[in-house]
Every structure is written in C-alpha cells, then in structure tokens.
Amino acid sequence: MYTLRRIAGNGVEINQSIGTSYTLIRKEQNPKEFERAMEVNADYVKGSEATIFALISFHNGTSVSWQFLYTGQKNFIMNETGGTFAHIKPD
C-alpha cells in the first residue's frame, strides 16, 4: 500500500492512501499525456494549471482518482512501513 504525502508551502501536511499502484504523469516528460489528463480534470483545476508539474492517478474503490502536484509543495510516496518510496520534485 502507498500513501501520497504532500506538504504545502504553509506547512499543511496531507496524507492520502493511494492503494497498491499509481500512475505518475509529469508535465515536462510527457506533455501530451499530461494535457490529456488535464482535459479530463479541467473542472477541478481552473486557474492553477501553471503551478501543476505532475498528476498522480490511482483507483479509489470503483473509480479513478487524481491528485495534482504543485510547485512549492513537497511530495512523497510513502510505503506501508512509513518509509519514503519516492520524493517527487519538479524537473
């Protein structure tokens, strides 16, 4: 099981279970896929597109959920023992 840990610039920490698998889409590395994913989520990110550097998708029960990773926040994928699996930073 993985947890997405986001620490905002104001010190707010958000931890969210993202299950046993996830997909990371980086804006700089795959701009076409990133744009496609943003179109699917356009209603949720109006006005913040410029500060999003990556998206994470994962299955949340019966549907797909999306989390946006913004510049200016720290983003980590944690494993089930609490260790850091990945530190996701802007390119």
What is the predicted pLDDT for the residue at 46?
65
| Cα of 89 vs its chain's centroid, Å | 11
The one-letter code for the residue type at 72 is: G
Residue 83, pLDDT > 90, answer: yes
CA atoms within 13 A on the CB side of 57: 12
Domain ranges of the chain: 2-88
What is the predicted pLDDT for the residue at 44?
62
Tens digits of residue pLDDT in 41-64: 766 656 666 789 999 999 978 888
DSSP sequence for 70-83: ETTSEEEEE-TTS-
pTM for this entry: 0.85
Mean pLDDT of the chain: 89
Averaged over 11-31, what is the pLDDT? Answer: 94
What is the predicted pLDDT for the residue at 39?
85
